[in-house]
Amino acid sequence: MTELKRILVIGGGHNGLVCAAYLARAGRKVLLLEAAPRVGGAAITREFAPGFKVSAGAHLLHLLDPQIEKELALARHGLSYARTSLKTVSLSETGEPLVLDGATVVAGKVSASDQAALASHRARMQKFARVVARQHGRVPARLASGNWREALTAAALAFDIRRLGRKDMREFLRLATMNIFDVLEDTFDGAQLKGALALDGVLGAKLGPRSGNTVFNSWYRASGDAGGRAGSFALPAGGMGAVTQALAAAAQAAGVEIRLSSPVASVLLNGDRVSGVRLENGETLTADVIVSNADPKTTLMKLLGARHLETEFARRVHNLRAVGTAAKLHLALSGLPSFRGLPAEHAGERLLIAPDLGYIERAFNPAKYREFSGEPVLEITLPSVHDASLAPAGKHVLSAIVQYAPHDIAGGWETQRERFATATLAVLERYAPGLRAQIVASELLTPLDIEREFRMAGGHWHHGELSLDQFMMLRPVAGAGQYAMPVTGLYLCGAGCHPGGGVMGSAGRNAARVILKSRQAA
């Protein structure tokens, strides 16, 4: 009988670990099943060439919920930072990079009016990002639920927006659905500055600067305060894997049992409710509550099966937009690369190849036609500058997010991969002459590789596009915004739920709260 009261968590990504930890801390018996031989999902550090280690997925920490960090005592379980408050560098082909530290231009050419506009723009954007941030820890309210608690949650959102003040509220509502291209054109003159600020509106999304929703994306990306500073980026010591290792340690300390190399083949039902899972090796495990850290499409269409869902609901899940466009490039380098005009002291910052708005928009254009960018945009880090554990002495690793590389590429990635890698390295070489000669080993993860390695449908890091029509109570789809799925006892806890992707953990924490209140887990 005790076995029946067990909670199964499918997937040991950061959200699965967070959810499992909170459930165990509340006294539940939790068994976490991870398909890979290690926990972490896409938030892992792995060796891709002898002696060279890199964060395989996300490479900057900026959204991790500080409350989770505190409640699960992640510092005690081994999480520390190699560097916080990274500066942002817009690289230049002509040797005039622009270095930004928050709203301050540290180096590079910028007009006085742009400098002044940057301060007020950033202040306002951070203010709006706080409104988004305040929603992260809340279970989204269903509209017209008739439930007073949910009415309060909805009222809290309205209040968050209203208390911006009349003028800013109007701005918030005006900008929320806008494209970042127009906003930046309205605000700044400098092409380089606009390019650098636009990148945060499109990174990880199948959107260009001229697409709607990109202002919202930039707020979302600035809505964290990892490492103690709002809207900034940090590098965990030991790479992103250190975060999930600390979470796993916290979960195990709370009593979570973790089984590795145990991929789940299907969720089993007894009538209308879950009864357990079948592993790929044929073994079945029973449970009344199953929490899936897998993405919504994988969980609902593959593990459960559309036939067990309502027709319109299944159609919504099927139509969920989750086409990954971000590839990941890892280079093992024989030395520190030299970027044109960039002093070596800034090489370890967040480096962008997004020289102007038109460049980003042109990079996006091919993605609409299922082609990769001939001249992609990049977000580059050299974590080994701050963290000696990642590369042999004197050598370095380069980690870059490369856009755009649509998952559903015409002709298939088998034929396009090498061409895309060559094009990307050619662009890098223009910004860092001699870089190609420094390459000891390299690895390119296309969205197809990301899908295969991390079992994410569409190879989308966020388990589905982050946009207003797939956010809050509409995430992953309308009618399932509160972690509980229509099949009794089945829950989602991953980035496909509110509040979404990034190494954040809030979805896992919110899901645990809902599960602990439910009847099935009682």
For the segment 463-522, give every residue that binds another protein (CB under 8 A): 479, 486
Crossing angle of helices 191-202 and 112-136, in 10° steps, is: 10
* Closest to 329 in 3D by CA, of 369, 372, 288, 297: 372
Q: Kindly state the tokens that stand for 494.
A: 């991953």
Q: Per-residue string for binding with another protein, 206-235, x by CB under 8 A?
A: ------------------------------
The continuous run of DSSP H or E covering 284 comes out as strand 284-286
91-123 residues labelled b (16+ CB within 10 A) or e (exposed): bbeeeebbbbebbebebbebeeebeebbeebbe
Q: Kindly state the tokens that stand for 105.
A: 């231009």
Which among 110-118, 146-154, 308-316, 395-403 is the span making contact with another protein, rule CB under 8 A? 308-316
The minimum distance between CB 300 and another protein, in angstroms, equals 10
Which among 38-46, 313-321, 390-398, 429-437 is the span making contact with another protein, rule CB under 8 A? 313-321
Query: What do you get for the CA distance between the two ends of the chain, in Å?
Result: 14
Please select the residue that binds another protein; options are 318, 368, 419, 517, rule is CB under 8 A.
318
Between 176 and 269, whose beta carbon lies closer to another protein? 269
Between 78 and 486, whose beta carbon lies closer to another protein? 486
For the segment 240-259, give every residue that binds another protein (CB under 8 A): none
The minimum distance between CB 271 and another protein, in angstroms, equals 5
The minimum distance between CB 275 and another protein, in angstroms, equals 12
Applying CB under 8 A, does 312 fall inside the site for another protein? yes
The continuous run of DSSP H or E covering 368 comes out as helix 357-368
Between 105 and 300, whose beta carbon lies closer to another protein? 300
Applying CB under 8 A, does 268 fall inside the site for another protein? no
The minimum distance between CB 304 and another protein, in angstroms, equals 10
Following DSSP, what letter does each residue of 95-153 receive, concatenated?
S--EEEETTEEEES---HHHHHHHHHHHHHHHHHHHHHHHHHTSPPPPTT---HHHHHH
Please select the residue that binds another protein; options are 47, 189, 283, 310, rule is CB under 8 A.
310
The minimum distance between CB 314 and another protein, in angstroms, equals 5
How big is the chain by its Cα radius of gyration, in Å? 22
Residue 261: count other Cβ atoms within 10 Å of its Cβ: 13
For the segment 278-307, give every residue that binds another protein (CB under 8 A): 301, 305-307
Please select the residue that binds another protein; options are 93, 272, 280, 414, rule is CB under 8 A.
272
Applying CB under 8 A, does 314 fall inside the site for another protein? yes
Between 272 and 418, whose beta carbon lies closer to another protein? 272
The minimum distance between CB 487 and another protein, in angstroms, equals 9
Following DSSP, what letter does each residue of 221-278 receive, concatenated?
HTS--GGGSTT--BEETT-THHHHHHHHHHHHHTT-EEE-S--EEEEEEETTEEEEEE
The minimum distance between CB 13 and another protein, in angstroms, equals 25
List phi, psi (to 5°) of 29. -85, 120
Positions touching another protein (CB under 8 A) are 269, 271-272, 301, 305-308, 310-315, 318, 479, 486
